[in-house]
Amino acid sequence: MKEFVTAKMDDRTKIFTLILLVLLPLLALSSFFMQPPKPVVSVVLTILLFSVIVISYGLVPKRIAISDDQILIRNLFGAVIININEIKTADKIEKTGLNLRTFGVGGLFGYFGYFNGRDVWYVTNIHKKVKMILKSGKIYMISPENPDNFLQEVHRRMSEMV
């Protein structure tokens, strides 16, 4: 099994993450100073905003690996396995473009979840994206630190399976 490091956050993602890591806790804590006091609202808001931070961090891919016939993308909540024989195309995407977040995280530690309808993203750096289109039409976007080496390995494994 060959391991690939997840790409470090790009500058825009770092700035957005830093701003949110400061503002979300401040917003949560400021709710305790509302007049008249609403402790239930303050506690619920605090739990909700800290949960957003923890869940977003948990979605960051901790491991990207390629075995003979599968690609593994693992985060704190589980793993996604993509069978290499199901991949139709795998390409590097350098443009950032406009993408519609359907359900997921849009900048806090990266971009995770569903974008553009049904594309599944595990992206920490928008300038190092790899797009894998499966034969079923499903699209996965990931961001290994070295997309060229990752794609070289994926294409090699795809050619061995033919």
Residue ranges covered by each domain of the chain: 1-162
Residue 161 reports pLDDT greater than 80: no
Domain 1-162 classified CATH 1.10.10.10?
A: no
Q: In the chain, which ranges are continuous DSSP H helix?
A: 11-30, 39-58, 147-161
* 3-class state of residue 43 by DSSP: helix
Contacts of 53 (CB under 8 A, 6+ apart): 20, 21, 24, 25, 108
Average pLDDT of the residues of the chain: 89
Higher pLDDT, 98 or 64: 64
CA-only gyration radius of the chain, Å: 18
Q: What is the DSSP letter of 31?
A: G
Bridge pairing between strands 119-123 and 139-142: parallel
Q: Where residue 90 falls among pLDDT bands split at 50, 70, 90?
A: very high
* 99 against 142, higher pLDDT: 142
User: 69-83 burial, b for 16+ CB within 10 Å, e for fewer?
Assistant: eebbbbbeeeeeebe
- Considering the entire predicted model, what is its pTM? 0.84
pLDDT at 162: 66
More confident residue, 73 or 107: 73
What would the pLDDT profile of 126-149 be if each residue is shown by its tens digit?
999 999 999 999 999 999 999 999
| pLDDT attached to residue 100 | 64
